[in-house]
Amino acid sequence: MSADADASGRPPPAPSLRARLTRLILLAVLAVAAVQSVIVYRTARAETEAVFDAQMERIALSLTGGIAAAVLGHDPLADDARARDFIIQIWRADGSMLYRSPSSDLLPPQAVLGFSELRASGAHYRVYALQTPLQVIQVAQATASRREMARQLAWRAMLPVLLLAPALMLIVWWVIGRAMAPVERVRQQVAQRRPGDLSLLPAAGLPAELQPLVAEMNGLLARLTAAWTASQHFTADAAHELRSPLAALRLQVQSLQRAPDAPARQLATQRLLAGIDRATRLIEQLLVLARLERDDAGALAPTGLNLARLARAAIEEQQPQAQASGIELMAALPADTPDDLHISGHADAMAILLRNLIDNAVRASPAGGRVRVRVERATDHGDRARAPVWLQVEDSGPGIPPEERQRVLDRFYRARGAPGHGSGLGLAIVHAIAQRHGARLSLDTSPELGGLRVNLEFPPV
C-alpha cells in the first residue's frame, strides 16, 4: 500500500488551494505585525532612552543650588523620580553621603560626570552625575525598567492584530472564495459535461490568470475533436474498403469449391491467393495510416538520415516485384551517397514512404514500362549547404489529371481510370509522412517517362 494512502486504501484528500492561500496570507500578516512590533520596540526603546535621560538631567539640575532639603521633603520632581524608579544620591564634597533615595540600592560614587552605565547589586543602571561646588548629584535608573516599558509599547501595537486575527481569517477566507469563484465555475462546467461533449469552454468573463488555462484546455478539446472525427471517418472508410475485398474472397472461395476439374481449381486458387494478397496489403496500409494519424509521442523522433542510402535500400527491396511485372526500376542516385543528402527524419517512416512511392509507380506502369527514383540536392539555390534535398519518383504510367492531383492525397480516393487494384491509400500515407517531416509534396507529369512524377522537397539539416 502506498505511504500516501490511509488505512482504508484511499488516497489522502488533495490540499485545498483556498486554505493554503488563507494560511499564507495570515502568515504574511502576522509576519508583518511581528516586524512592526520589532520596529515599534526599537523605536520605543530609543524614545524612552531619550525621554528618561532628559528627565534624569532635569531632576539633577533641580537639586543643585543647595536645595537638598527639598528632596528630603515633598519636592514634585523628587516625587516623580520615586514614581519612575529613579535612584537619587547626593554626595558632599568630602565624599560623605548627604542623601539617598529610600529603599534603593546603594550606588558607588560616580567619578565620571554626565551619562554612563554601571552594574551594582546584580543590576544594570543608567546613571547621570552632576557636580556642583558643594556636592555631586547622582540620578540613576535600572535599564530593566526601560526595556519593560518598551516591551509594553510593542505589545500594545501587536495586541490589536492578534485580537483581530480570527476576524481577519474569516474575511480572507471569504475574499479568496469570491476570487476563486471563476475556478469553481469552470470546474462545474467540466463536471456537468457528458462523455461525448467536446465543445469548447466559454472564456468570457474569466480573469486573466485563468484564460491561458482555459485556452489550453480548449486547444486540447479541439485536438480531441479532430482526432475523434478522424477516427470516426477512418473507421467508416476502413469498414467500407474492407467490405469489397472480403466479399471478393468469399466469392473466390465459393468458386474454388465449385471448380469441376484440376485446371479450374488451380485458376480459382490463384485468384484466391491474389485476393488474399490484396486484402493483406490493404490491411497493412490501414495499420500504417492509423499509426501515422495517431502519431504517438516519440513515434517520429527525428534523427539524421542519408536519403540516398534509404532510396537505394528501397529500390533493392522492390526490385523483385518490378522484375516480375516487367518494369525497369532505375536509380538516379550518387554513387558514393554524399553526406550533403542528409535529412532529419524517422528511418522506419521514410522506408514506408519510399516503399509506397515505388510500389504505386510499379503498379501504375504497364508491362515494359519504367520507374525512376532520383535523389539530389537542389541546384538552383545560392548556398548549397542550405539547399533542400529533392526526392523524385516518376513512372511511365497514364499519370493523374491535374484536376485530381489534390484529391488523390485523400484516403481511399482513386483517380479515374487508375490501373490495378489499389486501395487509394498509398499517396495518402506518403502525404502524412511528408507532413510530419516538414517536406513539401507536389505532383506533376514526368517530362521523360510521361507518367506521374511525385516531388518531395525536404528541408536541409
User: In the CATH hierarchy, which top-level class contains the domain 211-290?
Assistant: mainly alpha
CATH number of 298-458: 3.30.565.10
pLDDT for 419: 58
Mean pLDDT of 425-453: 88
pLDDT for 70: 47
Mean pLDDT of 448-454: 92
pLDDT digits (tens, 9 = 90+) for 230-245: 777 667 666 755 666 7
pLDDT for 8: 56
CATH architecture of 19-162: 2-Layer Sandwich (3.30)
Please, what is the average pLDDT of the chain? 79
Grid look-up 523628587 returns 78
Grid coordinates representing 318 are: 522492390
- Following DSSP, what letter does each residue of 147-205 receive, concatenated? HHHHHHHHHHHHHHHHHHHHHHHHHHHHHHHHHTHHHHHHHHHHHT--TT--PPPP-TT
Identify the sign of the CA torsion 202, 205, 210, 215.
positive
pLDDT for 395: 93
Residue 321 has pLDDT above 60, yes or no: yes
> Rounded to an integer, what distance in angstroms lies between the CA atom of residue 392 and that of residue 329?
13
Tell me which of 380 and 35 has the higher pLDDT.
35
Assign 296 a pLDDT band (cuts: 50, 70, 90).
very low
> Rounded to an integer, what distance in angstroms lies between the CA atom of residue 289 and that of residue 295?
10
pLDDT digits (tens, 9 = 90+) for 247-286: 777 887 888 888 888 888 888 888 888 778 877 877 776 7
* Side-chain-side CA neighbours of residue 435 (13 Å): 11
Mean pLDDT of 66-89: 57
Per-domain residue ranges of the chain: 19-162, 211-290, 298-458
pLDDT for 32: 83
Pick the closest to residue 144 from 48, 222, 228 (CA basis): 48
pLDDT for 453: 94
Assign 10 a pLDDT band (cuts: 50, 70, 90).
low
Instruction: Let me know the angle formed at the C-alpha of 352 by 351 and 354, rounded to the nearest 5 degrees.
Output: 65
How many of the other CB atoms lie within 10 Å of CB of 129?
21
Burial class, 446, CB count within 10 angstroms (exposed 0-12 / middle 13-18 / buried 19+):
buried
Beta-strand ranges (E) seen in 240-355 are 303-306, 328-332, 342-345
Greatest CA separation for the chain: 155
Same fold, 19-162 and 298-458: no
Assign 76 a pLDDT band (cuts: 50, 70, 90).
very low
End-to-end CA distance of the chain: 50
> Rounded to an integer, what distance in angstroms lies between the CA atom of residue 2 and that of residue 9?
8
State percent of the chain over pLDDT 90. 11
Q: What are phi and psi of 128, to 5 degrees?
A: -120, 125
Query: Which of 97-101, 279-283, 380-384 is the most confident on average?
Result: 97-101
Q: What are phi and psi of 383, to 5 degrees?
A: -100, 105
pLDDT for 298: 46
Mean pLDDT of 118-145: 86
State percent of the chain over pLDDT 70. 80
Q: Which of 4-18, 46-60, 217-231, 386-400 has the lowest mean pLDDT?
A: 4-18
Q: Which residues pair with 47 in a beta bridge?
A: none
